[in-house]
Amino acid sequence: MSQHLDAYPELERDLNFYPLGVKNPTVLSPVQIDRYNDHGYLFPIQVFDDREIIEIREYFDALLPQALAAGWNSYEMINWHKTCRGVYDVVTNSRILDVIQDLLGDTVILRHSHFFVKLPGDGKRVSWHQDSSYWPLSRSKVVSAWLAIDDSTIENGAMQVIPGSHKAAQIAFHDSEPEENNVLSQTVRDADRYGDAPVSLVLKAGEMSLHSDWTLHGSDVNQSEQRRCGLAMRFLSSDVQAYNGWNAHSVICRGQDPTGHWADHARPTGEQVPVKDNPESSMNDLVDSSGVGVDSTD
């Protein structure tokens, strides 16, 4: 399979890495912000206490069977904040937003949300990749928060990152081979060439990690009997522009978008599982994901 350097050459995106951080952070320390910019990730960050995360997990335990019954697989629950009040309430939680605001500034926009649910025995991995490589956005200035809904361990396939890899910005990638069992569709080969030795982001339920959109990351197959559920939330500010309709699923969580470019979905009134074969809800969301179910260059 051939190697690619840019999934959207026609968009002429700004593919540089931009360090983030405000002058007077309120939650993160300046040292933590420097670490994020130097290493391309930060963890663990405590968000929910035991009681709170148990409540969130129970909510998710009830949502997952409904998703599967509606025909979604456990990696396809994308942008459900638009129709499920419980998901919306997590992605707009003020403790998460306080952290993100220390990196992005006063305007915080949730661009999309994505559950990555590794079920025991599902055999799926997430091959080494960079998020910006998939996304038709410019500038590349997105911070991802990954909230552990279950404990995330080495055995159940915790996410791994290559420290410092974000500084290279776009790295060449290949189309994933079927035998990789990749949830997504791009693979960066020999990932450890691009930074320090891989670090496993082992998290307790209720903690989250942050990673830059250029940080090389991935995760191995779940080898345990325990589910590994994480909710990835992608945040940006109004100085980022989306192409191909990727501005349609957002929530303006803090501040304002003077450009009027970003959608601002309201808090859902209840719990509505998206309909799988509805092009309005499903296909846009699939194309809007990190490449789930679409070709490598989507």
Ligand X SMILES: O=C(O)CCC(=O)C(=O)O
Q: Which helix (H) or strand (E) holds 261?
A: none
Provide the minimum distance between the beta carbon of 293 and ligand X in the complex, in angstroms, as a whole number. 15
Indicate whether 232 belongs to the interface with ligand X (CB under 6 A): yes
Query: Phi, psi at residue 294, to the nearest 5°?
Result: -130, 170
Binder among 76, 131, 150, 151 for ligand X (CB under 6 A):
131
Q: Which two tokens stand for residue 7?
A: 């999934």
What gap in Å lies between CA 251 and CA 19, rounded to an integer?
Answer: 23
SS percent in the chain: helix, strand, coil, step 5? 25, 25, 50
Indicate whether 133 belongs to the interface with ligand X (CB under 6 A): no
Provide the minimum distance between the beta carbon of 270 and ligand X in the complex, in angstroms, as a whole number. 27
Binding pattern for the stretch 189-218 against ligand X, x by CB under 6 A and - elsewhere: ----------------------------x-
Indicate whether 116 belongs to the interface with ligand X (CB under 6 A): yes
Indicate whether 165 belongs to the interface with ligand X (CB under 6 A): no
Which letter, b or e, does each residue of 179-196 get, where b requires 16 or more Cβ atoms within 10 Å of its Cβ? eeebbbbbbbeebeebbe
Binder among 153, 219, 237, 281 for ligand X (CB under 6 A):
219
Residue 236, classified by CB atoms within 10 Å of its CB into exposed (0-12), middle (13-18) or buried (19+), is buried
Q: Which helix (H) or strand (E) holds 186?
A: strand 186-187
Indicate whether 284 belongs to the interface with ligand X (CB under 6 A): no
What gap in Å lies between CA 294 and CA 175, rounded to an integer?
Answer: 11
Indicate whether 230 belongs to the interface with ligand X (CB under 6 A): yes
Question: Which of residues 121 and 256 has its CB atom nearest to ligand X in the complex?
Answer: 121
- DSSP 3-state assignment of 41? strand
- DSSP string covering 6-31: -S-GGG-----------SS-SSS-HH
Provide the minimum distance between the beta carbon of 169 and ligand X in the complex, in angstroms, as a whole number. 16
What gap in Å lies between CA 98 and CA 76, rounded to an integer?
Answer: 27
Select from 136, 278, 158, 284 the least CA-distant residue to 224.
158
Question: Which of residues 163 and 230 has its CB atom nearest to ligand X in the complex?
Answer: 230
**Length reported for the chain:** 298
Binder among 7, 97, 159, 202 for ligand X (CB under 6 A):
159
Binder among 32, 144, 165, 212 for ligand X (CB under 6 A):
144
Binder among 108, 119, 126, 242 for ligand X (CB under 6 A):
126
Indicate whether 146 belongs to the interface with ligand X (CB under 6 A): yes
Q: How many residues in the shown chain lie near ligand X by CB under 6 A?
A: 11
Binding pattern for the stretch 10-49 against ligand X, x by CB under 6 A and - elsewhere: ----------------------------------------
Question: Which of residues 82 and 217 has its CB atom nearest to ligand X in the complex?
Answer: 217
What gap in Å lies between CA 71 and CA 62, rounded to an integer?
Answer: 15
Provide the minimum distance between the beta carbon of 184 and ligand X in the complex, in angstroms, as a whole number. 7
Question: Which of residues 257 and 297 has its CB atom nearest to ligand X in the complex?
Answer: 297
Query: Phi, psi at residue 215, to the nearest 5°?
Result: -70, 125
Provide the minimum distance between the beta carbon of 118 and ligand X in the complex, in angstroms, as a whole number. 7
* Beta strands 143-148 and 126-129, pairing class: unpaired
Which residues contact ligand X (rule: CB under 6 A)? 116, 126, 131, 144, 146, 159, 217, 219, 230, 232, 290
